[in-house]
Structure 1
Amino acid sequence: MEAADGRVILFLVIAIALFIAGRRYQTLVATRQAWRDAMRLVIARRQVAASATRSMLWMAVVSGFVLWLVANLNRLM
């Protein structure tokens, strides 16, 4: 092999190595983006769940008060 053939092989090896590194970097970026989006969804879902829980508790308090009021009014009449 001449020196030019060695340079071509070296160029091909460097090109393949850069391609593999680029694909791994692209996968890393895509994974990081998916993770970040998932974390945003978890926070949003947690806030929605907390809001729904508060609403259910308030409805339980109001329902309990109405039941207590009806029981007491029934006893008075």
Structure 2
Amino acid sequence: MEASSDGRILLFVAIGIALFVAGRKFQLMLNAWRDWRKAVEGLPKLRSTAWGGVGTMFRVGVVAALVFVVATMVNRHI
């Protein structure tokens, strides 16, 4: 039994839509891999920046604690 020309056209349209969707998914996958590579390349720089921020927070905390201790000692002697 031979398919009608309308059936063939619908089959080609369905195949075209499926290929279009598959192509878009493939393109999104390639973009995700590219973005992932860029993110992984930036990790060492981000890690060193984060540790620098931790060090700065530690130093600020130590200075704040010293100021608190000095203020407490001055308050006791007044």
What TM-score does the superposition give when structure 2 sets the normalisation length? Answer: 0.56
Superposition CA RMSD, Å: 2.5
Percent of residue pairs bearing the same amino acid type:
7
Give the deviation of 1:50 after TM superposition: 1.5
Residue equivalent to 1:16: 6
Specify which of 33, 50, 66 is matched with residue 23 of structure 2: 33
Unaligned runs of 5+ residues in structure 2 are 60-78
Number of positions where the alignment pairs a residue of Structure 1 with one of Structure 2: 55
Give the deviation of 1:53 after TM superposition: 2.4
What secondary structure does 2:31 align onto?
helix
Residue equivalent to 1:6: none
Amino acid paired to 2:23: Q
Give the deviation of 1:52 after TM superposition: 2.4
Specify which of 41, 46, 52 is matched with residue 51 of structure 1: 41
Q: Deviations over 1:38-60 (max 9, x none)?
A: 11011011111222222111233
Write the distance in 2 (CA, Å) between the matches of 1:39 and 1:46: 10
Write the distance in 2 (CA, Å) between the matches of 1:40 and 1:34: 10
Unaligned runs of 5+ residues in structure 1 are 1-10, 71-77
What TM-score does the superposition give when structure 1 sets the normalisation length? Answer: 0.57
Amino acid paired to 1:44: R
